[in-house]
């Protein structure tokens, strides 16, 4: 009986307060509340280390092979933490850069279908049609990345409760009734989304359509269809890259204008080359030079569409 109890605790862990990791208890009630959802990743890491150090070859194969087949890169403990720290040194988001690179590699490869399947396993796990990696793996534990939005920030501070309250209010205000129901009871919400065949986002806009019957089944079961995850990540990479290019264009235009004003021939040639690489037209440069000579008020008023200018005439007349 004692042996069975020890095996059960070793495999399924003991979540009692007195078995919480020391870091959870040293911070008092605050750290216990903030880290209450992080016990499993730490205990799983301890189990994996024990397996590596003391397990037989057969035990290691039976555990790690299916684990990494399901979890992909997210099976590596603390991978997000290390990636975020490295990205901080390089000034890049490691996950976005890695996904961009692997998506491009898979699309350009000599065997695109096989390459895409490999990349999908890496990021989303080994079950066809389903994004399971994040649920199985513990690679997201310990991340230091900033929250992407208010919902994620509340989720980190207050766990499921904070995420639920915020999401119910937000979705209800936008008229997304199914999404509001899902925030309260995900099981029912997933079934309703599967039946509707789509999810809604801001202003009632369609986010994802579930066109394949299997995708609807996966969604109804409470899992994320892999095509939804792929589209989400693809949109994320594209939008961040668009912003990066926009920032580079603004910087290149500013460099050119400074070079012209300082009469620096070498800097002007270098800036012109950069503008050409970014496909910036002379009109864009001229417009920016004009905006730089304007005051903030003049820039604000110049951006008012002509059809609405009459509505702001009285405000502009107030001095």
DSSP 8-state secondary structure symbol assigned to residue 127? S
Question: pLDDT for 155-169, tens place per residue?
Answer: 555 555 666 777 778
- What are the residue ranges spanned by the domains of the chain? 233-301
Q: Average pLDDT in the 174-185 region?
A: 83
Q: Average pLDDT in the 96-105 region?
A: 92
Closest CA to 213 of 227, 200, 201: 227
> How many Cα atoms occupy the beta-carbon half-sphere of 8 within 13 Å?
6
From first CA to last CA, the distance across the chain in angstroms is 86
pLDDT at 144 over 60: no
Scored b (16 or more CB within 10 A) or e, 200-213 reads beeeeeeebebeee
**Are β-strands 198-200 and 206-209 bridged in parallel, bridged antiparallel, or unpaired?**
antiparallel
Contact yes or no for 32/24 (Cβ under 8 A): yes
Bridge partners, residue 198, by sequence: 209
pLDDT tier, 9 (very low <50, low <70, confident <90, very high otherwise): low
Bridge partners, residue 225, by sequence: 130
pLDDT tier, 10 (very low <50, low <70, confident <90, very high otherwise): low
Token pair 């309260």 is found at: 184
Closest CA to 201 of 237, 240, 228, 239: 228
Q: How far is CA 103 from CA 57, 115, 117, 175, 196, in A?
A: 34, 9, 11, 35, 30
Question: pLDDT for 275-292, tens place per residue?
Answer: 999 999 999 999 999 999
Question: pLDDT for 239-259, tens place per residue?
Answer: 999 999 999 999 999 999 999
Contact yes or no for 77/42 (Cβ under 8 A): no
Closest CA to 39 of 14, 75, 7, 67: 14
């Amino acid at each position: 009986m004692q042996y069975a109890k020890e095996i059960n605790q070793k495999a399924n862990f003991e979540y009692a307060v007195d078995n919480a990791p020391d870091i959870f208890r040293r911070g008092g009630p605050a750290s216990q509340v903030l880290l209450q959802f992080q016990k499993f990743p730490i205990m799983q890491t301890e189990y994996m280390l024990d397996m590596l150090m003391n397990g037989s070859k057969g035990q290691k194969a039976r555990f790690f092979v299916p684990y990494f087949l399901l979890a992909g890169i997210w099976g590596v403990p603390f991978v997000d933490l290390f990636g975020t720290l490295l990205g901080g040194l390089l000034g890049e988001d490691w996950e976005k850069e890695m996904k961009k690179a692997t998506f491009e590699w898979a699309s350009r490869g000599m065997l695109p279908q096989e390459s895409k399947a490999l990349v999908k396993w890496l990021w989303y796990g080994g079950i066809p049609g389903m994004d399971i990696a994040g649920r199985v793996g513990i690679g997201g534990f310990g991340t230091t990345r900033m929250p992407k939005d208010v919902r994620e920030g509340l989720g980190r501070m207050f766990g499921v409760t904070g995420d639920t309250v915020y999401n119910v209010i937000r979705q209800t205000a936008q008229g997304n009734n199914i999404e509001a129901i899902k925030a309260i009871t995900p099981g029912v919400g997933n079934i309703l989304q599967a039946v509707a065949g789509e999810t809604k986002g801001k202003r009632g806009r369609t986010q994802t359509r579930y066109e394949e019957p299997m995708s609807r089944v996966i969604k109804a079961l409470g899992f994320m269809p892999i095509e939804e995850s792929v589209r989400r990540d693809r949109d994320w990479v594209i939008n961040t890259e668009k912003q990066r290019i926009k920032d580079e264009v603004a910087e290149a235009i500013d460099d050119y204008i400074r070079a012209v004003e300082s009469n620096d021939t070498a800097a002007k040639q270098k800036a012109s080359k950069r503008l050409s690489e970014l496909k910036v037209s002379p009109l864009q440069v001229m417009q920016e030079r004009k905006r730089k000579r304007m005051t903030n008020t003049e820039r604000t008023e110049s951006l008012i569409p002509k059809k609405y200018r009459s509505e702001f005439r009285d405000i502009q007349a107030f001095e």
